[in-house]
Structure 1
Amino acid sequence: MTLPRMMMVGFLAGAAFPAAAEDLQYVETALLADLAPPAAETFFGTVVAKERTGLSYTAGGCITEVSTDALRSQRASAGQVLVRLDDRRAQLALRTARARLAELEGLVEERDLGIASAIADGERRQAELEFVTREHQRNSVMLGRGLINETTMDVVERRFMDAGFAADRAQEAIISARAAKRRAEIARDIGALEVDNAELTAELLVLRAPYDGVLVDFDAAVGDCVQNGGEAAQLYAPAEKSVETFFLVSRLSAMGPSGIGTGQPVGFTRVNGDVCGGTVRWVDTEADLETQYVKATLDVDGACASRLFLNEAVEVTAGHTGDGVYHVPEAAVEGEAVLSLVGQGDTVSLTPVEVLDVQGGIAAIRYTGEAALHVLLDGDASEGTRVSRVPPQG
């Protein structure tokens, strides 16, 4: 499909049987009025939401709050609370989980202090061990020189061994304190997960609108008790609507701009005369055996869709037809011009037209001028050239 563009079209007018002349170029023409497409067929369709989102309860319970604005207007905004179920138990569980998490976070801080204390004790024990080690070395020298007896040396050695054992226990205490902190951190993380779970459980008792849209069948009331999975309403975007209709097989299989296919433009006319545009989004692959109609879905332009009502009946026109529309051979618009002959002298003139579409060798053009002109189908002639529509003799 080609986008509409302004092109030059040429038309032929003049006497019905102009005088042939040997020095004039013969051209093949067709009466413009004969190239008008068949009258536009009108189909009828029903406006539907392009997509509907079901809003269901994610938990069972009794309703304690309903949005009065949503009930009154049947419209919702993204994130708006529509219904809230009784959440007293859920809120109590959430507060308990948060308090437990705070306690576990305090335990982690306590374990940090335990590690700091163990490290400080380890440093003291290490310093004491170093002092006793030096004392042991001095006494060993003195024992070798006979300055002290073995009984005194036994006391020094006992102090040396006790200091070493104390230093080892201090290092073990540090390792144990760090392990206790890791266990406290794991417990804190579990507590955080319990808080998340409690928040999720509380959120399940709240029904929110996922996006801006129009509510359908929303009639919740305070005091009603609902089941998990029960449908509360349906939601659709007002600017996203479609029209469901049926086309004849003959129109779907037609060649050229008069045919109907996916992606082609269509028009909708409401009972008040309002006209909307759209495109063919989907065409079924099966026709009704008796009527030979095929179901199709047509998307409505967003600017117009919000004005339409669901289940509204509209007239559907498809294909490039209507007043001022003509289907001419594609060759007639090659070179961005369709030639025409005007005046008594069969003179070519170039006339601007709007090319709507080109398919299957046929171009749909829009021209609002006189329809009693002749279109130049082949040949090449410039503005003001005189040509002949009478075939040469012999």
Structure 2
Amino acid sequence: MTSPALEYPGDLLGFADDLAPAERAKLARLRAYLDENVRPVLVERWESGESLADFRRPLADLHLLDDPELLGANGRLRPLYRGFVTLELCRLDLAMSITYGGQVGMFRTLIHAGGSPEQIAAWDPSILDFSFTGCFALSEPDHGSDVAGGMSTTARRTEDGWVIDGAKRWIGNATISDNIVVVAREEGGDRVLAFVVPSGTPGVERSVIPHKGAARMVHNADIRLDGVVVPEERRLPRIESFRDINRAFRSLRADIAWSAAGMQLGAYAAAVEYAQRREQFGRPIAGFQLIQDKLVRIVANIAQTLALAVRTTTHPIDDDVSPSLIKLVAADRLRESVALAREIVGGNGVLLDHDVVRFFADAEAMYTFEGTREVNTLIVGRALTGHSAFVR
């Protein structure tokens, strides 16, 4: 059984029971830090759209990913534990996971998969302690799901290195990062290249996208690149195509399921706590059949999502189709669960004080990024039938 300090109400199938004692202890420390320091400020920061960047260094000090006691004989963390780190962060708030995980997950993974041994050795320690921060810039103002075939950002080779021109949009953590991994199409060639561009380089302009209704504490940004000069040593040499980018991120494909599971667990905890104390018609609404039906449906969705997360963690994905199915199912289950949680809390469910509306709103961001449901459906459909329905 899981440690009393690390209970997961809603995990009725006991996926968390497979965590090792040292892993449970570390996750308990993480939860305690989040509950004591971050949870009290969530309402005000969500409402104002203020970033959670100031919590990155304290989280790094917890040594979630580099504690020797957690490393196996191969010098690596167990994938199951890494998944539960993502789950724990999302159980609090999606923005906390993106603010922390975008650095040690996406940015670090891209450096390891695309960088030279010298680049990895020079940058990795500083990535883990957040003294060398970064983000990943792929999508563009006119190219989201079709960016692989329509990328407009270009990189031109010169005697001094490369000159990058173009624009990127929806780039998470861009304005709180010292470096931007910019993906660009080689001008006059067929390659797709990636560059670690210092954010203060002349010609780089970043602006936070305002008026968001989801993931409000994540500072997604528009980035303009106008004649940005980057030396060759800042290019990631093992990325020369979109196939290389997909290869780089295969190890992170399960994260979408872990994130969706964490958000559902957070919404469930808020909903069941409310149902136990809220009285109508002289008794707690937790005793009403309609409320219990909604709670059971949420728990069933959590079980399905966690099953996907654990399976893809213990059996790493080595294709480009399975991630689309995982994203499609996990996002569907998340969207239903947070809607049910919002219904349970009734009119109070639209108030930030009761938590569920944060998960409800943020689920819409999760539903769209990493590929819309429609695009993921077409990817899986093409694999099943051998016919592409992307174009007529």
User: Shorter-chain TM-score category?
Assistant: under 0.3
More strand by share: 1
TM-score normalised to structure 1 length: 0.23
